[in-house]
Structure 1
Amino acid sequence: MQPETSSSYSPLAQNKGWKVWWKLTRPHTLTAAFVPVLLGTALAIHETTIHFGLFFAMLLASLLIQAATNMFNEYYDYKRGLDNEESVGIGGTIVRDGVKPRTIMQSALGLYGISILIGVYICMQSSWWLAAIGLFCMIIGYLYTGGPLPIAYTPFGEIFAGFFMGMGIILISFYIQVGTVTTTSVLVSVPIFILVGAILLSNNIRDLDGDKEFGRKTLAILLGRKNAIYLLAGMFIVSYAWIFSLMLLGYSSAWLAIVVLSIPKAIKATKGFVGKTVPIQMMPAMKATAQTNTIFGFLLSIGLFLDYFIK
């Protein structure tokens, strides 16, 4: 654990101002929270009239929880010695920009506090059962990198991330509008479950060597780099095949085939990892993986909206 001394920090954070704090939220990861809310609402429009107050409340709460989770990640990676000035990745606000760890932790807890207030409004408009579900999701967000055994250090990180930040948000967004969860809403959420997990897997493929040195037991480490890349490709394939299976089985319309437009990003992401071992060389592949989830989710939502408005 690294001590929090004044000599560890520079005035860079003050000089860069809001840009440092914007980077701290890891903005390109926030689509992992935005897309599920949009998709859950696109599913709900087929069942009921959309309550836009609930939509925007759910969207804001999800973005704040995602940003807070990223801050917890920043804090604990520093405390455990994983981050330094030479680290490659989207973190480094502490080691490179001079923000104090305590400030980051307080900011994360503050975002959680705001999310709870928004959650009260959501519960008042829908169901108080969501209070327990929301609090559980927030605890998982903290335990993802916090606590004695962080989820991110285990082989189960992809499953937890995919379920809570993918399927979970979709189903909650659907439930607060409709008042129930349907078989179709669960089935349509599965590809996002997979693709959000793929984002974490891509991160773990990039950090495989460093994570191994620090004793992590991620799925990428257990499988090995080559097999982890195969798994990533398989996750992309299953996501697209799943949508076409739903179409064939009558659970969705042909409009959802629009997701094929995101296939080039999935191919770029997979190819970007092949033959690479240096973390910075794999950054474009990581970015393409996140973009695949974003574009896939947007297109899936568009397909659902088109199905509703064009009969």
Structure 2
Amino acid sequence: MSSVPNQNMKASLNEREGFQVWWRLLRPHTLTAAFVPVFVGTMLAAMEQPIKLGLFAAMLLASILIQAATNMFNEYYDYVRGLDNENSVGIGGTIVRDGISPRVVRSLAIGFFVMAGLLGVYICIASSWWIAVIGLVSMLFGYLYTGGPYPIAYTPFGELTAGFFMGTIIVGISYYIQRLTISWEVILVSIPVAIFVGAILLANNIRDRVGDADNGRRTLAILFGHKGSIRFLTVLFLIAYGLTIALIIFSILPYWSFITLFSVAKGYQAIQGFKGKSQPLEMMPAMVATAKTNTMYGILLGISLLLEISIPLG
């Protein structure tokens, strides 16, 4: 493998050596998809009773570990299947560009799953052992997302799976371990969060559409085409914000939650960033903007719940 393409790609992506190699392996721009659902679910519980900080911290760390492990399995299996190369955009690149052993990447992913499992034991002891069942299923799907004979990421169901497990399920668990109960209101609030998580995967697939099609994937972005995928991403954003407004109108969310609309500008930037672009590197800013939309929406939603606790209105 020539070092010249490696150096050129690293320069174009502004990649650095040393610790940055391992940091990129985690794909940090995706980790907010693990933080946001835990934050929102916990803040929903905090509106009804004081939260248990130990459970919040354990759930947050376990969620981040599972997300990071899923990213590592993604990198490992895409390399094994020959889908990633030194010129691939949007990957950690630790295997194909930095020379990290695939076995090391796989071992780290397994290790992160084990650590998440140990945190899960603590969470179960402090709440309910039913959480263990849900947690194991979530980790299984995290592995199957790119592992196994029929990876979910290669099908049209990647966004739905990611949104459901990293959005609705985590919001629900984060609420449940604090209150030991669940409600339809919590599930409804989780839906916009799930949509934004799924949107991150859709943005990723829009960027990689051509290469994925060449490698036999059948993602939504491939089925819809470039322009159709942008329209679908727009519809997802509209549904998420529309549902948020409806939840406020029907008093399921507080009026403070209107502050989530400050994230609309970032979502608009993401949509515009994909238009007229054809090269993966050109679409990187749009994908980052999509992830930031999720981050801004989720943090603002959580803050709005905190504001309702400390400064109740009417």
1:250 maps to what in 2? 251
TM-score (norm 2): 0.93
The structure 1 segments of at least 4 consecutive aligned residues displaced by more than 3 Å after TM superposition are none
Q: Give the Cα separation in 2 of the matches to 1:308 and 1:211.
A: 46
How far did residue 31 of structure 1 move?
0.6
How far did residue 145 of structure 1 move?
0.3
2:270 maps to what in 1? 269
1:294 maps to what in 2? 295
Q: Give the Cα separation in 2 of the matches to 1:35 and 1:303.
A: 13
Q: Give the Cα separation in 2 of the matches to 1:47 and 1:180.
A: 12
After superposition, what is the alpha-carbon deviation per residue over 1:43-64, rounded to whole angstroms, capped at 9, x for unaligned? 0011221000000000110011
Aligned residue for 2:55, secondary structure, equals: helix
Aligned residue for 1:93, secondary structure, equals: coil
Equivalence map 1:159-170=2 (5 Å): 159-170=160-171
Q: Give the Cα separation in 2 of the matches to 1:212 and 1:90.
A: 17
TM-score (norm 1): 0.94
Q: Give the Cα separation in 1 of the matches to 2:83 and 2:114.
A: 27
Aligned residue for 1:95, secondary structure, equals: coil
Q: Give the Cα separation in 2 of the matches to 1:251 and 1:104.
A: 43
Q: Give the Cα separation in 2 of the matches to 1:16 and 1:206.
A: 25
1:308 maps to what in 2? 309
* 1:293 counterpart letter in structure 2: N
Aligned residue for 1:181, secondary structure, equals: coil
* 2:115 counterpart letter in structure 1: I
How far did residue 251 of structure 1 move?
1.4
* 1:38 counterpart letter in structure 2: F
1:65 maps to what in 2? 66
Aligned residue for 1:98, secondary structure, equals: coil
Q: Work out whether residues 68 and 109 of structure 2, in 8 Å CA contact, stay in contact via their aligned partners in 1.
A: yes
Q: Give the Cα separation in 1 of the matches to 2:170 and 2:128.
A: 15
Aligned residue for 1:76, secondary structure, equals: helix
Q: Work out whether residues 77 and 147 of structure 2, in 8 Å CA contact, stay in contact via their aligned partners in 1.
A: yes
2:85 maps to what in 1? 84
How far did residue 223 of structure 1 move?
1.1
1:103 maps to what in 2? 104
How far did residue 250 of structure 1 move?
2.2
How far did residue 163 of structure 1 move?
0.5
1:259 maps to what in 2? 260
How far did residue 266 of structure 1 move?
0.4
Q: Give the Cα separation in 1 of the matches to 2:245 and 2:17.
A: 47
Q: Give the Cα separation in 2 of the matches to 1:163 and 1:32.
A: 12
Equivalence map 1:152-301=2 (5 Å): 152-301=153-302
Q: Work out whether residues 86 and 96 of structure 2, in 8 Å CA contact, stay in contact via their aligned partners in 1.
A: yes
* 1:170 counterpart letter in structure 2: V
Q: Work out whether residues 277 and 283 of structure 2, in 8 Å CA contact, stay in contact via their aligned partners in 1.
A: yes
After superposition, what is the alpha-carbon deviation per residue over 1:122-159, rounded to whole angstroms, capped at 9, x for unaligned? 00000001111100000000000000000000000000
* 1:104 counterpart letter in structure 2: V
Q: Does 1:116 align with 2:117?
A: yes
Q: Give the Cα separation in 1 of the matches to 2:254 and 2:296.
A: 19
2:94 maps to what in 1? 93
Aligned residue for 2:282, secondary structure, equals: helix
Q: Work out whether residues 266 and 289 of structure 2, in 8 Å CA contact, stay in contact via their aligned partners in 1.
A: yes
Q: Give the Cα separation in 1 of the matches to 2:123 and 2:87.
A: 43
After superposition, what is the alpha-carbon deviation per residue over 1:264-283, rounded to whole angstroms, capped at 9, x for unaligned? 10000000011111111100
Q: Give the Cα separation in 2 of the matches to 1:276 and 1:16.
A: 29
Kindly report the root-mean-square deviation, in angstroms, between the aligned alpha carbons of the 2 structures.
Answer: 1.4
Q: Work out whether residues 26 and 92 of structure 2, in 8 Å CA contact, stay in contact via their aligned partners in 1.
A: no
| Identity across the alignment (%) | 58
Which blocks of at least 5 consecutive residues in structure 1 are unaligned?
Answer: 1-8
How far did residue 22 of structure 1 move?
1.3
Aligned residue for 1:96, secondary structure, equals: coil
1:4 maps to what in 2? none
How far did residue 215 of structure 1 move?
0.5
Aligned residue for 2:97, secondary structure, equals: helix
Q: Work out whether residues 42 and 178 of structure 2, in 8 Å CA contact, stay in contact via their aligned partners in 1.
A: yes
Q: Give the Cα separation in 2 of the matches to 1:250 and 1:68.
A: 37
Q: Does 1:140 align with 2:179?
A: no
Q: Give the Cα separation in 1 of the matches to 2:256 and 2:231.
A: 29
Aligned residue for 1:188, secondary structure, equals: helix
Q: Give the Cα separation in 1 of the matches to 2:212 and 2:265.
A: 29
Q: Give the Cα separation in 2 of the matches to 1:69 and 1:221.
A: 22
Q: Give the Cα separation in 1 of the matches to 2:182 and 2:148.
A: 32
How far did residue 90 of structure 1 move?
2.9
